[in-house]
Structure 1
Amino acid sequence: MASVPPFSTDVVSDWSPMHEAAIHGRLLSLRNLISQGWPVNLVTADHVSPLHEACLGGHPSCVSILLKHGAQVDGVTTDWHTPLFNACISGSQDCVDLLLKYGASTQPASDLASPIHEAAKRGHVQCVESLSAHGGDIDYNISHLGTPLYLACERQHVPCARSLLEAGANANQGRGLDSPLHAAARALNGELALLLMDFGANYQARDAEGRRPVELVPAESPLSHLFLQNEGPPSLMQLCRLRIRKCFGLQPHHKIASLVIPEELKRFLQHI
């Protein structure tokens, strides 16, 4: 059993038994250490706290006890990682929800470590949903990464892309002039391309080199035929659907569900 530490306030330390217990999800050990007087906000030279490690390991029970004992919910490491960012790396929605409950900021302290971008990049759709439901900026554009939707498309995480679009993400915002549809075209992902166009992606958009998405696709590819089928202006029905969804702003899916209109019309507006 670890001895009682020679301090009672938050200090900088080397890797400690607190960090070890947190990263491995050893709840009983963590409880014992806290009861012995180990500080919950003990940080390493890189400002890594036990809470950072519990989130990185995806251990909600450890996250919960640390937060209950006063762990700093928005502590930042020298790499700009917050506990919320680490929870998005692990993909633990339970950890994300706990942090948000204790007031964690969805806005990154630095563009080098954005929680919603990390969740989208890794395809952690439940984390994305929790962040967007708590006011996370689903269209937050970082110059070297683009938007969360762009990252989801670049990594071909279709469920994650759908979740962002359903939450109201702009289907045409990518990285610079490179749109999410350009990313889908390069990946030859027809399912993703169709999803984006269904939510209003502009298949005539041009990238920095002046190329449309269709020009990134081999002529013999089925995706090329899909783009050709969608040549011409959108239908009036599609234009009406996109306009109505835009009027609802963020989280239109949930707002549409509460409308007193025929279920068939609700399903159409919700892309079901």
Structure 2
Amino acid sequence: MATETDIIFPLRSALAVTQKFCMIATPAFWIHLIHDFVSDWSPMHDAAVNGRLLSLRMLISQGYGVNLITADRVSPLHEACLGGHSTCAGVLLKHGAQVDGVTVDWHTPLYNACVSGSQDCVNLLLEHGASPHAVCDLASPIHEAAKRGHLGCMESLVSHGANINENIRHLGTPLYVACENQQIACAKRLLESGANANQGKELDSPLHVAARNSSSDLVHLLIDFGAEPHSKNAEGKRPVDLVPPNSTLAQVFSQKEGPLSLMQICRLRIRKCFGIKQHHRISELLLPEELKRFLLHI
């Protein structure tokens, strides 16, 4: 029967030989090895995720590929964007990194940039032709930006044609996601850009989720932008049914029960005519400033 010594000494010998080989192996050997096999992690990934620009440039000059991927199909560009390192991302793109590479989780570099909240990375990717649309329902850049309150990222996506009313079955619309996570600034910008105030997650409207979270600011905002307070969800409940009966929020709903004023109807109709980017278009109208402020909810 083998003793502990019989097992340990051969292992130590093998380890010593391996260490010696690693020391004498040339960089060219390792580059060749990495190109031959899918890497779990490479020096390129390490430099990118940590924002080590000089190291990244040196590795590229030594022949490391910018599109090297891990077993999960994560590229150095994915890591640079996840770390919010726009300069590293720029170098990778300059040397031919795939701008719309997709991981096994359907994450693109643009999605990762929205996770980190780096508007610089988002703008850089969009300028290099990245699609602002989700490649799969599992990973939508605009939903992720809305969820995390990354207003700048969301604005860049909208300005490049992202669908502000994109309805993903398990998430809902970007507006619904923003309201669900109580990201008021993102919700307001989506509404200003023409998002439908009544489209949420299946029958659950943004107003339902705002009421459920007892968010008075969101309730006021949504109703001002035309949210229907009498809509019912899958359980047959109105938004008001989701708040405590004698709460301040219940009183708000009570005050909003009547029909909209003519001024409110006109404002909603005018805004609807402009569609997306209406916030900027209304500002350009040759109207009195007071009227423009009313149309812009200022």
- How does the TM-score come out when normalised to structure 1? 0.97
Residues 1:242 and 2:247 are matched in the alignment:
no
Q: For 1:1-272, list aligned pairs within 5 A.
A: 3-4=27-28, 5-6=31-32, 12-272=38-298
Whole-angstrom CA distance in 2 between matches of 1:203 and 1:149 = 16
CA drift of 1:14 comes to 2.3
Whole-angstrom CA distance in 1 between matches of 2:33 and 2:113 = 29
CA drift of 1:15 comes to 0.2
Q: Which of the two has greater helix per residue?
A: 2
Please tell me the root mean square deviation across aligned C-alpha atoms, in Å.
1.4
Identity fraction in percent: 67
Whole-angstrom CA distance in 2 between matches of 1:3 and 1:93 = 36
The number of equivalent residue pairs is 271
CA drift of 1:122 comes to 1.0
Matched residue of 1:6: which SS? helix
Residues 213-254 of structure 1, C-alpha deviations (whole Å, 9 max, x = no match): 001010121110001111111000000000000000111000
Whole-angstrom CA distance in 2 between matches of 1:270 and 1:146 = 25
Larger of the two Rg values belongs to structure: 2
Q: Give the partner amino acid of 1:3.
A: P
Whole-angstrom CA distance in 2 between matches of 1:29 and 1:82 = 24
Whole-angstrom CA distance in 1 between matches of 2:155 and 2:171 = 20
Segments of 4+ moved more than 3 angstroms: 7-11
CA drift of 1:29 comes to 0.5
User: Runs of 5+ in structure 2 lacking a partner?
Assistant: 1-25
User: Runs of 5+ in structure 1 lacking a partner?
Assistant: none
Whole-angstrom CA distance in 1 between matches of 2:200 and 2:284 = 31
Whole-angstrom CA distance in 1 between matches of 2:27 and 2:184 = 50
Residues 167-202 of structure 1, C-alpha deviations (whole Å, 9 max, x = no match): 111000000000000000001110010000111100
- How does the TM-score come out when normalised to structure 2? 0.89
Counterpart of 2:17?
Answer: none
